[in-house]
Amino acid sequence: MIKPLHIKNTTYSCNLVQGPLAGVSCAPFRALVLKWGKPAFSYTEMISCKTLIHGNPTLQQRFVLKVPGETLCFQLSSNNVFELGLATRMVTDYGADLIDLNCGCPVKKIRSKGAGSHLLSEASKIYSLIRAMKENTHCPVSIKIRVDADSDDHFNQDIASAIADAGADFITVHGRHWRHGYDIPCAYDDIAFFVDALDIPVIGNGDIACLPSLKRMFKTGCAGVMIARAGVGQPWLIQQLISQAQNVPYQIPLPLTIGKLFQEHLFGLCKLLSSDNFAVLQARTFAKYYARTLPNKQVFCEDFNRCNDLKSAVRIIEDYFIDG
Ligand SMILES: Cc1cc2nc3c(=O)[nH]c(=O)nc-3n(C[C@H](O)[C@H](O)[C@H](O)COP(=O)(O)O)c2cc1C
């Protein structure tokens, strides 16, 4: 189950990766995941190629900052071959270790630009976009897709052919249709379809949060597994799963340590965003994940979501996690 992952001509130490989460997966989060979880690699948030090419330098800094020592997969978003080629060159220069194209985002604003999951209805476009990435980098390139399960769509086969013909180096499959958000059960058979159809590593994704869910995903035959939401607030999760898969008990950090991790995340955001208030606003969106194990997590989240400044955010974390 847990073993080294081979992609193109690189072997990664394990086959668990930390996936992309817009609004979360910037450097301060990934620094915690690197230190505590030690994934094969982590993903950036989805980065619009237009933002990379034309955006202001402050915004770009948020997206391109790499944590020292991390292996990083830059995730790009585009439906334009020329822009994607240029952005691929740019992130290669910024130190990308792998480069992924988002072909699964269900958000209307992204789909209306012909990007994200909209691309799943255009297999020939996906072929051209993968070729544009391949021609502009030496890094392994991949796409992250959703599947056609539980819908009238039938794109799995066409997408698999486009990926194979274009020579992608690996693929990540989130086992739900883009219309189905995040809550219905994952379609493992669709992930297994891509494993059977392709000769490249397939990374399975969807709802991995514990050993049984990890085992279920590996039954699809996938070479690796992506953990996304469950890594937030428990950056040690990948090491926990690796230990448990080897029948070694894992001691989950105490609330005191979790509170300190949350504060470290928050201080990292203050530095990255050069604004304490923006950092607190962003931290409010994921406070619930750090609060998973708090007995009074509801009250903590209400309190935290009311605070606007760093001093009170730090104090509330101390009250609940450290002094409480
Ligand atoms: C808030 C949020 C932001 C996300 N941002 C991205 C993103 O930027 N790029 C992407 O490919 N997927 C994104 N996803 C999808 C996740 O990477 C992942 O495919 C999905 O959450 C299922 O995996 P999980 O059950 O392990 O979370 C996002 C999901 C959520 C809930």
pLDDT at residue 56, as a whole number: 80
pLDDT at residue 9, as a whole number: 92
If one counts every other C-beta atom within 10 angstroms of the C-beta of residue 212, the result is 10
Which pLDDT tens digits describe the chain residue by residue (324 residues)?
999 999 999 999 999 999 999 999 999 999 999 999 999 999 999 999 999 999 887 777 888 899 999 999 999 999 999 999 999 999 999 999 999 999 999 999 999 999 999 999 999 999 999 999 999 999 999 999 999 999 999 999 999 999 999 999 999 999 999 999 998 999 999 999 999 999 999 999 999 999 999 999 999 999 999 999 999 999 999 999 999 999 999 999 999 999 999 999 999 999 999 999 999 999 999 999 999 999 999 999 999 999 999 999 999 999 999 876
For ligand 1, residues with CB inside 6 Å are 19-23, 45-46, 75, 102, 104-105, 144, 174, 182, 205-208, 227-230
194/180 Cα distance (integer angstroms): 19
283/279 Cα distance (integer angstroms): 6
Residue 118 per-residue DSSP state: G
Closest CA to 149 of 171, 126, 179: 179
Answer whether 185's CB lies under 8 Å from 149's CB.
no
**Which residue matches tokens 């606007």?**
308
Ligand 1, from 17, 49, 178, 182: best to mutate by most atoms within 8 Å of Cβ?
182
| Interval between CA 278 and ligand 1 midpoint (Å) | 22
User: pTM to 2 decimals?
Assistant: 0.96
| Interval between CA 17 and ligand 1 midpoint (Å) | 13
Answer whether 171's CB lies under 8 Å from 195's CB.
no
| Interval between CA 322 and ligand 1 midpoint (Å) | 30
Query: Atom 25 (ligand 1): residue with closest C-alpha?
Result: 207
Residues 6+ apart with CB under 8 A from 212: none
Sketch out the chain's domains with CATH numbers: 5-245 (3.20.20.70), 255-322 (1.10.1200)
Q: Which residue type is seen at 96?
A: A
| Interval between CA 101 and ligand 1 midpoint (Å) | 13
| Interval between CA 233 and ligand 1 midpoint (Å) | 15
pLDDT at residue 59, as a whole number: 73
pLDDT at residue 183, as a whole number: 84
